[in-house]
Amino acid sequence: MSLASQHQSVLLREAVDALDIKSAGTYVDGTFGRGGHSRAILEQLGPNGRLLALDCDPQAVAAGGATKDRRLLIRHQRFGELADALQQTGIEVEESVDGVLLDIGVSSPQLDERERGFSFRYDAPLDMRMDTTQGETVAQWLERANVREITEIIRSYGEERFAFQIAKKIVAARGERSVASTGELAALVRQAVWTREPGQDPATRTFQALRIHINQELEQLALVLPQAMTSLKQGGRLVVISFHSLEDRIVKRFMRHEAAPDVSSRKLPLRAADLPQPRLRLLGKAVRASAGEVAANPRARSAVMRVAEKLAGRAA
């Protein structure tokens, strides 16, 4: 298999083990990236197994298209469009999938390729789109957004306490010329941020917030989780790796809600055995990267993996 391997997949073995691969099973890798998790899944699938891989980044899809493995179906779609992707590839939308893996966030190639504009380490066009075929860039959004809108995004998605000061700097600078490059934006942020944790660039939180916003990352995550639930068979596994507290909060709340008894029926005159049952069973505690993995790949330090198994459901 000739899948590009420059991206180090985080929690690779832990995630694939959590899926509990069945030889003839059907699986979904909602974030193909450069194929690390997909490769490991395919290694455990038999000849009758299937893997549907999604990615909104055309470069990732091109990397996946280089493989000739007939078990792999790869589509240029966001993972929030999971149900549509299943339908388009001839897989039943309801209860047909043995496992769904979601590795949320930006990939190493996206961060490391200067022209993508994700990183303040390089001076490059301020883009940050994961899907470069559609949508507006960060530069275009900053050109039209007002101080209130910029403040809200940076504060909400970056948890940046200097969000208002940063927004004012951006809008003031825009009066002279557009903020069109990563270097220009990073410089403005550094002027506005008075203090920062040791070892963290002042621009880190702002770049993260703008990336999350322009790619609708949290909205996509909220969309895919119920679709994944619908697609899973009884006993199927949902495995989610997140890198940001906001992402992990969405995943944790969703899984806990689906793993809790249906409280809406508690006041009805029903026996406990007749109450609608939880749809998910949580498997173990949240998993984090080992010290060895973090040493080899520092981007793994914030990773959190949560795993759940689908139960029979809440049929009353």
Q: Are 41 and 29 in contact (CB under 8 A)?
A: yes
Give CA torsion, residues 182, 183, 185, 188, to 10 deg. 170
Task: Answer yes or no: is 103 a known binding residue.
Answer: yes
Tell me how many helices (H) and strands (E) the chain has.
Answer: 13, 8
Q: Are 142 and 167 in contact (CB under 8 A)?
A: no
Task: Answer yes or no: is 64 a known binding residue.
Answer: no
Encoded tokens for 17: 């083990």
C-alpha triplet 85, 13, 219: angle, nearest 5°: 40
| Among the listed residues 18, 93, 22, 94, the one whose alpha carbon sits nearest the alpha carbon of residue 313 | 94
Task: Answer yes or no: is 165 a known binding residue.
Answer: no
Contacts of 172 (CB under 8 A, 6+ apart): none
Encoded tokens for 294: 């973090």
Task: Answer yes or no: is 235 a known binding residue.
Answer: no
Task: List b or e across 109-131, with b for residues whose CB sees 16 or more CB atoms inside 10 angstroms.
Answer: bbeebeebbbbbebebebbbbbb
129/22 Cα distance (integer angstroms) = 35
- Residue 288, SS3 per DSSP: strand
Task: Answer yes or no: is 110 a known binding residue.
Answer: yes
Q: Are 232 and 310 in contact (CB under 8 A)?
A: yes
35/130 Cα distance (integer angstroms) = 16
Q: Are 247 and 215 in contact (CB under 8 A)?
A: no
Task: Answer yes or no: is 35 a known binding residue.
Answer: yes
Task: Answer yes or no: is 37 a known binding residue.
Answer: yes
Binding site listing for S-adenosyl-L-methionine: 35-37, 55, 79, 103, 110
Binding site listing: 35-37, 55, 79, 103, 110
